[in-house]
Amino acid sequence: MLLILAGAFFAVFALNVSIGSFGGSPFLGNVGEMLMFLASSICFVAAVLKKEAAEKAAANSKKS
């Protein structure tokens, strides 16, 4: 779920940057772009840490 959310935030960020680079008027300003990228990064890191914790728990349960 978090990885999908991170992908969605990044897709909006990339779309906004693409629109701005092709001469259009981006729908997010500088602060909006930064917050969108920050949200994407936070969701991605949380997803990776959650997956790592699940794998560590699975490995510990196999040892027992």
Total domains in the fold of the chain: 1
For residue 48, is it within any domain? yes
For residue 53, is it within any domain? yes
Question: How much is the pTM?
Answer: 0.84
For residue 64, is it within any domain? no
How is residue 25 written in tokens? 């008027």
For residue 26, is it within any domain? yes
Nearest to 49 by CA among 59, 60, 57: 57
pLDDT at 64: 65
**pLDDT, average across residues 4-25:** 94
How is residue 35 written in tokens? 């917050």
**What is d(CA 7, CA 3) in angstroms, rounded to the nearest whole number?**
6
- pLDDT one-digit tens code per residue, 17-42: 999 999 889 899 999 999 999 999 99
